[in-house]
Chain A
Amino acid sequence: MKKNKAAIAIFITPALLFFLVIFAYPILRTLVMSFFRVESVTAPLASWAPVGIDNYLKLYNTELFRTSMWNLFRIWAIGGIVVMSLALLFAVVLNSGIRFKKFFRAVIYLPNVISAVALATMWLQYVFNTRYGLLTNFFKWLGWQSLASIQWTAPEYMFYSLLFAYCFGMVGYHMLIFSSGIEKIPQDIYEASTIDGASKPQQFRFVTMPLLRGVIKTNITMWSITSVSFFVWSQLFSTVTASNQTITPMVYMYLQVFGAGNVITERNAGLGAAVGVIMAVCVVAVFLLVNVVIKRDDFEY
């Protein structure tokens, strides 16, 4: 038994140390920092000035930050609905008995293994380009002049262009999670319901959906986690000067703490920490909400 204790210590210590240094300590420090005025990220603890919830109030009163939260909400809600519906649809289609299932599945997941910078460049410089781009040429070919002449990356369309391109890349991941959930449902339940006279849509509504509760929870949680880290796409779709259309809280934080500072003038890393805390709280809130709304089911595979 003594031998085991030593072995356990050897086994878990490295991982534990990494966890403490990378997660535990920084999380606590960010939390504390968000209640202080901190000249710069590198300022020593002694120079921090306690300000209570001032940082949060200041963020709330900053229009650019409110815009960034609104953008994040739209990305999360609209993008979430689009991505989840497409992902579920694809997962159902893939498991409906079509041929080349593995091939199609691999194609749909493909954007997830490509660097986001490369993928966003493909969309920005090709699909949305108005000189030689895909959309412009496609609508010209259809003869829809009004659509062909749309400037996809002009300020008024920028946000939805960005969201659309982002969703394209995200569908694959959530499709895989839905798909693995569907695969786990035993085939005999479908057979039994077919014998009972259930149609395909009825089977989907009364067999598939209820049994996917756990998977839906996972998907919403994962979607929220990736949403709060929305950064690369935003940076690529706007210049460094942060356009209001695409700014997200993470971009705001980056500009606030590390940035060129041409939009945000006040140097206060405490504000950045507060943004971090707000993002973490958002994830936890969604997680708790989802767990309350979607009750755990005993019948789950």
Chain B
Amino acid sequence: MNRDLKHYRRINWKNESKLLPGYLLMVLWLMFTVVLIGWIFAASFSTTKEIFKGQALQFPTGLHFENYEKAWTSQNVSTFFFNSLFYASVSSVILILVAAPAAYAISRFKFFLNRPLQSSFVAAMGVPVTMIILPLFGIVSDLQLLKQDVTIRLLLIFLYVGINVPYATIFLLTFFTNLSRSYEEAAAIDGCPPVRTFWQVMLPLAQPGVVTVSIFNFINVWNEYFISLIFASGDKTRPVAVGLYSMINSMRYTGDWAGMFAAVIIVFLPTFLMYIFLSEKIIAGVTGGGVKG
């Protein structure tokens, strides 16, 4: 990158000198981020002894892949990993099935609930989880849902979908609003009923929005902490964030720092890889939504 910088400077020295502080700032921030994540990555292949000697980057005894093996099998990270994978992917699919029709109806039809629904969803995006968690817990334990792993799993998916419905609906609303009405008119002339028109014509047309919401939701659910802390208390149903936390706590007693860093990397990697390939989509998810004051 440095070479590119000089190259640029040679071409337009005046322009470049003006932008130099900006570049400097960006590069400093970049370096810090790289060091932060890079060191953790290196330490996850090192040993606890070497980490404490400050030799995490030198690998005097080679790369220790067994840190990952240990974290994956004996520390239950594999269970947490597949739990999160399950929660995140299933909830993303259901979220679309729930939010897309609602967004479509709000964008297309006039009905008495239209405006109230929109403003309620926008308001719900600002409701702190502390405001809803106690009654939810009450209902859930009344229904005896916390006794079996299966019901806990279904419950978590239900909650993840429900909490994200307002955001997803408002986000998809802008996509459907921007689609031309001529598609539906054509479908109606051909005798296609509205519900079928939606699934077969309109939803595929809103695909970019659907993809963005799904990715965004996947990452949110993957990283979710508080709800799973309350509802998924058992080892078998825990997702990665809570699992990692409990592991870190137990690490105090086992003293396996290298294994802990390996676990951190395992939790970090899926969303990181998604981000590398889909960063533009994810960024669109932040800025494209209805987050206007």
Instruction: Decide whether A and B are members of one complex.
Output: yes
The interface of chain A, by Cβ under 8 A from chain B, is: 3-5, 7-8, 10-12, 14-16, 18-19, 21-27, 29-30, 33, 41-42, 89-90, 93-94, 96-100, 102, 104-111, 113-118, 121-123, 125-127, 131-132, 134, 137, 173, 176-177, 179-180, 214-215, 217-218, 221-222, 225, 228-229, 231-232, 235-236, 240, 249-250, 253, 257-258, 269, 272-273, 275-277, 279-280, 283-284, 287, 290-291
Q: How far is the CB of A204 from chain B (nearest CB, A)?
A: 13
Q: How far is the CB of A68 from chain B (nearest CB, A)?
A: 12
Q: Which residues of A contact B230 (CB under 8 A)?
A: 258
Q: Is there an interface contact between B39 and A134, defined as CB atoms closer than 8 Å? A: yes
Q: Which residues of A contact B282 (CB under 8 A)?
A: 109, 113
Q: Is there an interface contact between B166 and A12, defined as CB atoms closer than 8 Å? A: no
Q: Which residues of B contact A33 (CB under 8 A)?
A: 134-135
Spot the interface stretch: B59-67, B68-76, B204-212, B238-246.
Answer: B238-246
Q: Which residues of A contact B195 (CB under 8 A)?
A: 7, 10-11
Given A15-B102, A115-B223, A122-B264, A217 contacting B129 (CB threshold 8 A): no
Does chain A have a CB within 8 A of B253?
A: no
| 4 closest A-B pairs by CB | A22-B162, A15-B102, A217-B293, A11-B105
Q: Is there an interface contact between B137 and A225, defined as CB atoms closer than 8 Å? A: no
Interface residues of B in 243-289 (CB under 8 A from A): 244-245, 248-249, 257, 260-261, 264, 267-268, 271-272, 274-275, 279-280, 282-283, 286-287
Q: Is there an interface contact between B275 and A117, defined as CB atoms closer than 8 Å? A: no
In the complex, 18 of the A-B residue pairs with CB atoms within 8 angstroms, ordered by the A residue number, are: A10-B195, A11-B101, A11-B102, A96-B19, A113-B223, A113-B272, A115-B241, A117-B245, A122-B36, A125-B260, A131-B54, A137-B54, A228-B130, A231-B225, A231-B226, A276-B133, A280-B131, A287-B126
Q: Which residue from chain B places its CB closest to the CB of A231 in the assembled complex?
A: B226
Interface residues of B in 15-47 (CB under 8 A from A): 15, 19, 22-23, 25-26, 29-30, 33, 35-37, 39-40, 43
The interface of chain B, by Cβ under 8 A from chain A, is: 1, 4, 8, 15, 19, 22-23, 25-26, 29-30, 33, 35-37, 39-40, 43, 51-54, 56, 97-99, 101-102, 104-106, 109, 111, 113, 117, 120-121, 124-138, 141-142, 159, 161-163, 165-166, 169, 193-195, 198, 219, 222-223, 225-226, 230, 240-242, 244-245, 248-249, 257, 260-261, 264, 267-268, 271-272, 274-275, 279-280, 282-283, 286-287, 291-293
Q: Which residues of A contact B125 (CB under 8 A)?
A: 225
Cα–Cα distance between A109 and B272 once the two chains are bound (Å): 11
> Which one, A19, A29, A121, A283, contacts B126 given CB within 8 A?
A283
Q: Is there an interface contact between A115 and B279, defined as CB atoms closer than 8 Å? A: no
Q: Which residues of B contact A23 (CB under 8 A)?
A: 120, 124, 127, 132, 162, 166
Given A7-B194, A22-B136, A118-B268, A176 contacting B286 (CB threshold 8 A): yes
Q: Which residues of B contact A113 (CB under 8 A)?
A: 219, 223, 271-272, 274-275, 282
Q: Is the interface of B mostly helix, strand, loop or mixed?
A: helix
Question: 10 more A-B contacts (CB under 8 A) besides A116-B241, A277-B131?
Answer: A12-B102, A113-B219, A113-B271, A114-B271, A115-B240, A134-B39, A229-B130, A276-B130, A280-B130, A283-B128
